[in-house]
Amino acid sequence: MKRIKINNFEIANDKPFTLIAGPCVIESKDHALGLAEDIARICERTKINFIFKASFDKANRTNINSVRGIGLQEALPIFKAIKLNFNCPVLTDIHSESQCKEIAEFDMIDIIQIPAFLCRQTDLLVAAGNTKKIINVKKGQFLSPYDIPNIIEKIKSTKNENIMITERGTSFGYNNLINDFKSLEIMKRYEYPIIFDATHSVQEPGGLGSRSGGKREFVPILSTAAISIGVAGLFIETHDDPDNAPSDGPNMLHIKGLEELVSKLQDFDNLAKL
């Protein structure tokens, strides 16, 4: 079983689950730092290892007029401030090979995330692997779990084995995602850490016409199911005002509900990993 060492903890399918949490997209420095502080305090109280996540650009928005983000150059000092203030690893997603090259030289980003729609893009996976950072690949909504070894091999070709795979639901008809929890167990066979994305799993892509919808009320039950199987981590986008967030608001968990949820999940995680 593969283990990824980061900060002073390890990420693995048999270790206590790591929480990857933060807003969908960076809105401002103050907002990102405020959420990071809230998450850090929750994880300190519950003794959960956490990674802060946020996007600097949402290149795959439904509508051309949708908010995309502040851009990489403006986001870099924000990521630096979060890492230094809260001593937590930082994850962000990329959409191009050029962004990989820029991030490779920036020590304050620990994990590069490959969006689900881009998970088969060979050149992008190779560019990400060449950064030698940890790579978290979102499994495409269109992929079988049995396709994952092909993704892993592309990244391993760069001599980088710091790989995580994230399940975020499978397309089911139009504007809907479902979770086949067999996929978690299948992907665990490939030995790399498996993450469950609880908030994108309740997304309804393009469900509101010009934007995506979602049903955040199902985040707790899907999180419980995934943690009960035994996974390396849980991915939750969270916000202090999700109904007015510029991106993915309908499927983000309100920050007020985060501590209660992760506290309950710890009991299930302990049973799964006895």
DSSP 192-212: S-EEEETTGGGEETTTTSSS-
For the stretch 164-189, pLDDT in tens is: 999 999 999 888 999 999 999 999 99
Q: Which residues, at least 6 apart from 19, have a Cβ–Cβ distance to it below 8 Å?
A: 39, 43, 48, 49, 50, 51, 233, 234, 236, 262
Report domain extents, the chain.
4-254
User: For residue 63, is pLDDT > 80?
Assistant: no
Pick from 63-77, 155-169, 192-206, 245-259: least confident: 63-77
Helix (H) or strand (E) holding 44: helix 29-46
Q: Which region holds residue 188: left if phi is over 0, alpha if psi is between -120 and 50, else beta?
A: alpha
DSSP class of residue 139 equals P
Name the phi and psi angles at 122, rounded to 5: -55, -50
For the stretch 4-51, pLDDT in tens is: 999 999 999 999 999 999 999 999 999 999 999 999 999 999 999 999
Pick from 57-71, 74-88, 135-149, 162-176: least confident: 57-71
**Percent of the chain clearing pLDDT 70 (strictly above):** 99
Instruction: Give me the pLDDT at residue 59, please.
Output: 79
Band of residue 61 on the pLDDT scale cut at 50, 70, 90: low
Band of residue 64 on the pLDDT scale cut at 50, 70, 90: confident
| Contact of 207 with 62, CB cutoff 8 Å | no
For residue 247, give the 3-state DSSP assignment: coil
Band of residue 65 on the pLDDT scale cut at 50, 70, 90: confident
| Contact of 52 with 89, CB cutoff 8 Å | yes
For the stretch 189-247, pLDDT in tens is: 999 999 999 999 999 887 677 678 889 999 999 999 999 999 999 999 999 999 999 98
User: For residue 124, is pLDDT > 70?
Assistant: yes
Instruction: Give me the pLDDT at residue 210, please.
Output: 66
Fold of 4-254: TIM Barrel (3.20.20)
What average pLDDT does the segment 77-103 reach?
97
Instruction: Give me the pLDDT at residue 50, please.
Output: 98
Considering only CA atoms, which of 148, 129, 130 is closest in space to residue 191? 148
Whether pTM exceeds 0.85: yes
